[in-house]
Amino acid sequence: MAFSDQLLEEGSHIWDAQKNHPFVTELAAGTLDEAAFKHWVKQDYRYLLDYARLFSIAGAKARDEATMTHLLGVAHEVLDYEMDLHREFAADYGISQAELESTEKAPTCIAYTSFLVRTAHEGSLAEIAGALYPCMQGYLDVGEHTADLATDEHQYTPFIEMYTSDEFREATAWCRDFVDDCGERYPGEHDAMREAFLTSAKLEYRFWEMAYTQEGWGL
């Protein structure tokens, strides 16, 4: 079994929890509170900036040219293309660029991005691979799950289409191959990769909860 599949098998209970979360099931049905969805959009914008940092630092740690080129290319694509796409996506739901940029990270968003950036600085390339994998694979799986559940087009159909697109499938396939390659090259890192993967997966689940409850600081 590929190491990426081993990780998914060990995190299957977390995947099930994500797919059954009311944010996901209500989004699929088109009944999700728009305020909760907007909270997700704004927090995900802030998350993506640190996700780009994760790939940048990973690229600097890569030892072969092809891996370095791809990782730094992903960081550039997030900043140059995906952030613009996210701003356009937000505008469709009435969220301005100024509002995105002034959004304060919720506690869960801080916990997740801090974990990723710390792993990038302190961890090995293999550990970074484990940490970044749940985001891409998780969103593809949630996207496919919501596509299966959805019966009609509605205001959240663009979300479903975004995370089931051919481009996103290709990006996820590369990420999966990256995890498998690290698993083969660095067998001594399997425990560290597994721990990083499971931590990120749990934080992915908490991100849905954060959006659904519109988590703030309560101050």
Length of the chain: 219
CA distance 142 to 69: 29
**CA nearest neighbour of 58 among 113, 5, 131:** 131
**Known catalytic residue at 135:** yes
Angle at which helices 166-185 and 3-10 pack, to 10 degrees?
100
Which is the catalytic residue, given 26, 127, 189, 204? 204
Check 109, 135, 175, 182 and give the catalytic one. 135
Q: Which two tokens stand for residue 199?
A: 């931590």
3-state secondary structure of 1: coil
d(CA 112, CA 123): 15
Examine the residue annotation and report whether 204 is marked as an active-site residue of this protein: yes
> C-alpha angle with apex 138: 134 to 144, nearest 5 degrees?
160
At residue 11, the 3 state secondary structure works out as: coil
Positions marked active-site? 135, 204
